[in-house]
Amino acid sequence: MNISRSEELYRTALDLMPGGVNSPVRAFGSVGRNPLFIDHAKGSRIYDVDGNAFIDYVCSWGPGILGHAHPEVVEAVQKACVDGLTFGAPTGKENRLAGLIRDFVPSMEMMRLVSSGTEATMSAIRAARGYTGRDKIIKFKGCYHGHSDGLLVQAGSAALTQSVPDSAGVPASYAMQTLVALFNDRDSVRELFENNKDQIAALIVEPVAANMGVVPPEEGFLEFLREITAENGAVLIFDEVITGFRLGIGGAQEMYGIKPDLTTFGKIVGGGMPMAVYGGKKEIMKNVAPTGKVYQAGTLSGNPIATTAGIKTLEILGDHPEIYLRIEQKAKELAEAFRLRSVKRQIPLHVNQVGSLLCAYFTDVDVKDYAGALTSDTKAYAEYFGELLEHGIYVAPSQFEAMFVSGAHSDEDIRRTIEVLTA
């Protein structure tokens, strides 16, 4: 692979941005390589600045469910641009997008459009705190909800009952308000509710944990979270930034039949443009300014170009439910190929696959939680990453990210990928 132009751009970028990137995972740090700079993408392919083409299973970390530069989405965005990029005033497009979201996800009685998943989860938590008058929240170890201060925390040591910051710059006083439970571990959740009676405003969870690889909820776990939050007067927040419109048009809450109080969406909902959403029960959302005392605002919230991309994307997904069946089938075929690789190469590989999301863990552990995910051999993952890159296949540069299949991945793409995986 010729990567001279990428290297040149990387050197310049290193002087301009931390790690030469605008989001840490893009730096390829955990796979021990320098990042490739991308020139363009189309369908299932992504092309770097040196002309190397790759079958793309990152899909921009999820938004690309229709593939890159879908012609109908691009045409709609191009048309919208000539009418102006932003007005800082309401438009009918926001009604259209919010209406589509509510049609597809009935729990979204009322919502607010924002510009990133981080903004959506941060605002949902503030709405829950404003509604309950309580301060503490529960999150799960290994689940990621963006980089707002209160969500960059980790469990304290066994001796400590308090959480501690998981990033420099987060005050310990903020971290103390966030309690950390273990995904798929009911006792860890029960203990926090028992030890913090009537103090917990909300529990936020990725219904399928897709930031520790891909870890599905065990049978009954989401029902348990629904019950225990209701019993304790806490708001149940489903962070569906990844699973929303990914696992089906109704997301994980439709797949698992659970109605959360609030939900956050991102990625797919903006069709690749900066767009995210938080919303749910009207009785909670009506407390958000200007109708209530929970303040939240945004210059580009509901931006007419981003809403255009989101509307067109959701319309296509809503009109073509067969896309979901196709991408799930392709993900199953890839999961099978990883299992074959494990046998042929005599290497430990555990695959979790939910819909069009999958993750191959370099471990012989049956990964059902964060501790299981951490048993993975990240060095082996880095070698795998490099091997696939050399064969024209672009997967996540981290063991703990999901692999995404899009509607643009052809049967030939899957055949080629399987050929490389099982060589």
Q: Using CB under 6 A as the criterion, which residues of the chain lie in contact with ligand KE4 when the complex forms?
A: 23, 25, 61, 116-118, 121, 144-146, 206, 211, 239, 241-242, 266, 276, 401
276 vs 314 by CB, closer to ligand KE4: 276
The CA-based angle 272-273-277, given to 5 degrees, is: 100
CB of 109 to ligand KE4, least distance (A): 21
Report the DSSP pairing between strands 235-239 and 136-140.
Answer: unpaired
Q: How many residues does the chain have?
A: 423
| Torsion sign, CA atoms 367, 202, 277, 19 | negative
263 vs 363 by CB, closer to ligand KE4: 263
CB of 247 to ligand KE4, least distance (A): 13
Token code pair at residue 169: 């710059």
Sheet holding 53-56, edge to edge: 38-42, 45-48, 53-56, 393-394
8 A C-beta contact, residue 264 and residue 241: yes
Task: Count CB atoms within 10 A of the CB of residue 202.
Answer: 26
Distance CA 213, CA 89 (A): 39
The CA-based angle 349-354-357, given to 5 degrees, is: 80
131 vs 400 by CB, closer to ligand KE4: 400
193 vs 404 by CB, closer to ligand KE4: 404
Distance CA 350, CA 329 (A): 18
Catalytic option among 48, 239, 369, 413: 239
Distance CA 423, CA 407 (A): 25
CB of 403 to ligand KE4, least distance (A): 12
8 A C-beta contact, residue 270 and residue 100: no
118 vs 188 by CB, closer to ligand KE4: 118
41 vs 341 by CB, closer to ligand KE4: 41
Distance CA 326, CA 332 (A): 10
50 is catalytic: no
CB of 108 to ligand KE4, least distance (A): 17
Residue closest to ligand KE4, measured at CB: 117
**DSSP result, 356-372:** TEEEEESSSS---SHHH
267 is catalytic: yes
Catalytic option among 144, 324, 381, 394: 144
Exposed/middle/buried for residue 293 (C-beta within 10 Å: 0-12, 13-18, 19+): exposed
332 is catalytic: no
- Of 175, 169, 179, the C-alpha closest to 141 is 179
Catalytic option among 139, 267, 312, 330: 267
8 A C-beta contact, residue 255 and residue 230: no
8 A C-beta contact, residue 155 and residue 161: no
Token code pair at residue 228: 């225990």
What is the set of active-site residues? 144, 239, 267
